[in-house]
Amino acid sequence: MFRFALAAIFAAAIVRAADAAPPPIEAFGSLPLASQGTLSPDGKHVALIQPIHGRNGVMIYNLAMPDSKPNAVALDGAVAKYAFWKSNDRLIAIFVADLKQKWSHNIYTWSRAISVDANGQNAVLMMDGAPFLKYNTSGAAIVDRVANRPTRLYMAASEGEGFINSGFYDLYSVDITVGGYALALRGTPHTVQYLMDGYGNLWGHVEQDWNLNTKIFFGSQAIASFDAHGGRGVDVAGLTEGEQPKVAILAHDSSGMQALFGWKQSGAPETLFSDPRYDLADPIEDEHTGRVSGVTYYDDLLRSHYFDPALQHVQTLLEKAFPGQSVQILSKDETNSSYVILTDGPRNPPVLSLYTSTNHQVNILQEAYPSLKPEILGEVKPYPYTATDGLQIHAYLTLPPGKPARNLPTVIFPHGGPEARDSMDFDWWAQFMASRGYAVLQPNYRGSSGYGWNFTKAGDGEWADKVQQDLKDGVQKLAADGISDPKRVCIVGASWGGFLALGGVTFQPDVYACAVSYAGVFDLAHAVYEGTTFKSEVGTIWRRRIGADKDSSKLDSQSPVNFAERVSAPVLLIHSDKDTTVKIEQSQIEERALRHAGKQVEFVTLEGDDHYLEFAETRIKLLNEIDRFLGAHIGDTVSARQEPSSIESHPSR
């Protein structure tokens, strides 16, 4: 099961013959052979999220018996998302499935928690038999892991019946050995979150009324209140470590960077973490108590920072052992001597390993993509440039291996979100396109997260204008540097990146030779009104992003579906039929509009999958379709006798 690993493994010379065949599509499109890992408190067992028959389940390994077969934990029709050890003898696994609601036939994403023993047997459904459970999509909402009671959890669920997640949000005590439950606390009509300390004690809660006025209670005292309209409020991460914990809150500091603050029942908040250049990404939770033990943020790679000096010392040692890669501590045993770690770099696909602090050895548990070695992958480097209006854009460029960086066919690959960002961590999709001979540019356009609130806000209401100009400026920079052939540029995106892809060929029709969208949004009014309501917090965030909070006409003026006649490039639309995040109707609407306008459009349906490409077979199908489409329109076999591009190349400012 193990192979000894040294950082030197990843320091091999990067050499590849120009005529070497690229890896097969399956090497990129198959699910990673491991994506998460959790160690039992005694360090004798490790559970990994791994593919079982093409979709993720849980595999339990006995570390004391490395030659023994692992035990599989799967749930029919569902995908494993997360697992953790409640004790040495019991594992909790979270599964999700996209299922039709019987009484409305709408598709929803449902989650459930089960517990199994260390052999993967004696499975028990949490809150089994609760009459309200069948109405709760989020039936795996674990509030407190109760570190001092090996058979107890606290979970939350809505009590209402007749429609999805209605009624009061109540707190339940759950016995993990039988799944039985008991009401611990009935919520108010406005309860949205409980704050517990990891040992079964309730310290506070969060309430939000119908006008999105939100209050954070520590005990019975409201310590903070804010208006959640537009997403400029705060997120409550949980409690900090220690006998006198603080409420850990994610909010923007005075310079607009997202930071972590600690609130007590009295006094001013304390800054727990902030960075003057980058937003905090996520809090790190202790796997046994759920308390906030650190934070992550991105510079070019994902970075982890712990508040415990001893744990931060381990983090620093590991980062030195794996230079140029991100290192995450996923789990540790109760003696702090064994750690499950995840390493990942631009040309280093993820690897899960076991680090032993007593001898400083790292043993590989599983490589995510064992056939993809650094020497056959594309070089990834920062590629910053200046937008037309002077805004600095951070971007990353992946170059095709074995090819000179001159006059290349190019893919502009904007991220989704839109409040997300790209980094230099391994990207299987970008590396796949680079392996087929394309330069791949991933711009963190205005509206991206990671660079402060002002940068994020700069994208509001600008999706058809300045955001598209940011992407066009990247194309011009590549052409000016001689890297890209401006006649052979395609824009490819997923989710909100899919919107930008169709927006590119709609609002900048002279820039791109083709467009590919996976699960894109094209009719903004339909998406907002059908997917949520303007009274919800999510709805107000989308109104702000779109600019419809100030100008409702933005819903129509920025929707590609309303301007299909402007499109002149071929379009490939791909969508999963069980997508509950962006429903397949969005791509169907866009296809009809393009066909009605007499445009060249193809539509591919991925059957049975969701927004996040959970199945190996659908990932492989998606990459096959993209490979075929790009090859036909910008590949090396495309005739050079094309009309000259109207893009004017100019040096980056």
pLDDT, one tens digit per residue, over 305-356 is 999 999 999 999 999 999 999 999 999 999 999 999 999 999 999 999 999 9
Using DSSP bridges, classify how beta strands 55-62 and 138-139 pair: parallel, antiparallel or unpaired. unpaired
pLDDT digits (tens, 9 = 90+) for 530-583: 544 445 778 888 888 988 888 889 889 999 999 999 999 999 999 999 998 899
- Quote the distance between the C-alpha of residue 450 and its chain's center: 14
Q: What is the pLDDT of residue 101?
A: 67
Domain of 496, in residue numbers = 377-523+559-633
In a domain, 627, yes or no: yes
Residue 341 lies in a domain: no
Residue 356 lies in a domain: no
What local confidence, expressed as pLDDT, does residue 298 receive? 96
Looking at residue 266, its pLDDT comes to 75
Residue 594 sits in a domain whose CATH number is 3.40.50.1820
User: How far, in whole angstroms, is CA 41 from its chain's centroid?
Assistant: 28
Domain count, the chain: 1
In the Cβ-directed half-sphere of 342, how many Cα atoms lie within 13 Å?
23
Task: Please report, for residues 403, 437, 636, 643, the alpha-carbon distance to residue 406 in angstroms, rounded to integers and kept in the order given.
Answer: 8, 12, 13, 20
- Count helices and strands in the chain by DSSP H and E runs: 11, 38
80 neighbors 73 (Cβ within 8 angstroms): yes
How much is the pLDDT for 9?
Answer: 34
Considering only CA atoms, which of 363, 378, 352, 339 is closest in space to residue 33? 352
Cα separation, 465 vs 180, whole angstroms: 55
Mean pLDDT of 42-46: 96
> Considering the domain boundaries, does residue 366 fall inside one?
no
Domain assignment of residue 427, yes or no: yes
Distance, CA of 165 to CA of 149 (rounded, Å) = 29
**Rounded to whole angstroms, how far apart are CA atoms 634 and 364?**
40
DSSP H helical segments within 24-165, as ranges?
Answer: 25-29
Q: What is the pLDDT averaged over residues 438-445? A: 98
* pLDDT for the residue 503: 96
Look at 11-20, 62-71, 229-238, 454-463 and tell me which has the smallest mean pLDDT. 11-20
- In whole numbers, what is the pLDDT of the chain averaged over residues? 89
Query: Residue 294 corresponds to which tokens in the numbers above?
Result: 């650190």
Strand partners, 338: 356
Q: What is the pLDDT of residue 16?
A: 42
pTM of the model as a whole? 0.91
Residue 66's pLDDT is: 85
Q: Which residue has the higher pLDDT, 56 or 223?
A: 56
User: What is the C-alpha separation between 524 and 279, in angstroms, rounded?
Assistant: 28
Task: Output b/e per residue, 273-290; b: 16+ Cβ within 10 A.
Answer: bbbeebbbbebbbbbbbb
Q: Is residue 242 part of a domain?
A: no
Mean pLDDT of 243-267: 90
Predicted pLDDT of residue 100: 73
pLDDT in tens, 79-128: 999 999 999 999 999 999 888 766 666 787 888 999 999 999 999 999 98
Cα–Cα dist 306/311, whole Å: 6
Residue 639 predicted with pLDDT over 60: no
Residue range 450-504, pLDDT digits in tens: 999 999 999 999 999 999 999 999 999 999 999 999 999 999 999 999 999 999 9
**Chain segment 349-371, per-residue pLDDT in tens:** 999 999 999 999 999 999 999 99
Q: Contact, 165 vs 156, CB < 8 A?
A: no
For residue 284, pLDDT over 90 is answered with yes
Q: Is residue 451 situated within a structural domain? A: yes
Closest CA to 415 of 386, 447, 387: 447
Q: Give the position of tokens 């392996």.
A: 435
Two tokens, residue 172: 């339940």
Q: What burial letters (b/e) apply to 116-143, b meaning 16+ CB within 10 Å? A: bbbebeeebbbbeebebeebbbbbbbbb
Class of residue 202 by CB neighbours under 10 A (exposed 0-12, middle 13-18, buried 19+): middle
State the CB neighbour count (10 A cutoff) for residue 408: 24
Residue 138: what pLDDT?
A: 81
- State the pLDDT at residue 74: 92
Domain membership of residue 553 (yes or no) is: no
